[in-house]
């Protein structure tokens, strides 16, 4: 998270009790969540080898649920490109500017996975009002997969892009418009990471329900 969780909740004076984290990787944020008042977490990570790290790293904490799933608003088979940085840059999209911005990172494998919608996995998220999404360009699709469960979410922390870091991804204005239409107010992007042309490329955005 480009905005550390403790600074985020202090800045906006919020006290969420549950977090759903999509694109969990190995669960590096878990300690920060539980050290700052979170009582329960849901973690979703599609790469089985990384998912096994996630389970190991989160097992000491209470009320943890882990799911090895790929999330999208359309339940169909996708090719997930797996990156050689412990899966952190893995995506259903091909590299765009990413390959110049992070030339040391490559796709070294791929796997076909059938995606699931969040509302196909859960019928109630009322205990999880904070959602964190970091899935390399597929964040808007994951948000859409909440369906009516979006009404139970009050805080959205989401990786966003101003340029095609990955090819064909939704850009910031589209994500922001969808969240605005669903009752959220945009607060900030923590930091825009520049591309090789010096343009704002990607960052982490934060929204609060109005």
CATH of the domain at 122: 3.40.50.150
The total domain count for the chain is: 1
For the chain, the first-to-last Cα distance in angstroms comes to 23
In terms of Cβ atoms closer than 10 Å to its own Cβ (0-12, 13-18, 19+), residue 10 is exposed
Residuewise pLDDT in 10s, the chain (210 residues) = 899 999 999 999 999 999 999 999 999 999 999 999 999 999 999 999 999 999 999 999 999 999 999 999 999 999 999 999 999 999 999 999 999 999 999 999 999 999 999 999 999 999 999 999 999 999 999 999 999 999 999 999 999 999 999 999 999 999 999 999 999 999 999 889 999 999 999 999 999 999
Give me the numbers of helices (H) and strands (E) for the chain, helices first please: 7, 10
- Tell me which residue range forms the domain holding 53: 5-209
Give the dihedral sign, CA 55/57/63/66. Answer: negative
From residue 102, alpha-carbon distances to 48, 84, 176 in Å are: 24, 12, 26
């Amino acid at each position: 998270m480009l905005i550390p969780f403790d600074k985020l909740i202090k800045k906006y004076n919020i006290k969420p009790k549950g977090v759903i984290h999509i694109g969990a990787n190995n669960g590096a944020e878990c300690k920060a969540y539980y050290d700052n008042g979170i009582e329960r977490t849901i973690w979703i990570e599609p790469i089985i080898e990384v998912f096994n790290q996630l389970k190991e790293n989160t097992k000491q904490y209470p009320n943890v649920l882990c799911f090895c799933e790929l999330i999208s608003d359309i339940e169909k088979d996708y090719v997930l490109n797996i990156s050689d940085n412990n899966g952190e840059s893995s995506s259903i999209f091909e590299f765009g500017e990413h390959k110049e911005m992070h030339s040391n990172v490559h796709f070294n494998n791929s796997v076909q996975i059938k995606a699931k919608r969040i509302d196909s996995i859960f019928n109630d998220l009322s205990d999880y009002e904070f959602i964190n999404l970091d899935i390399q360009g597929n964040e808007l699709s994951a948000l859409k997969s909440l369906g009516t469960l979006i009404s139970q979410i009050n805080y959205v922390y989401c990786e966003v892009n101003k340029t095609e870091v990955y090819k064909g991804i939704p850009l910031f204005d589209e994500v922001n418009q969808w969240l605005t239409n669903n009752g959220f107010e945009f607060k900030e992007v923590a930091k825009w990471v520049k591309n090789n042309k010096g343009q704002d490329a990607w960052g982490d955005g934060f929204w609060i329900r109005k």
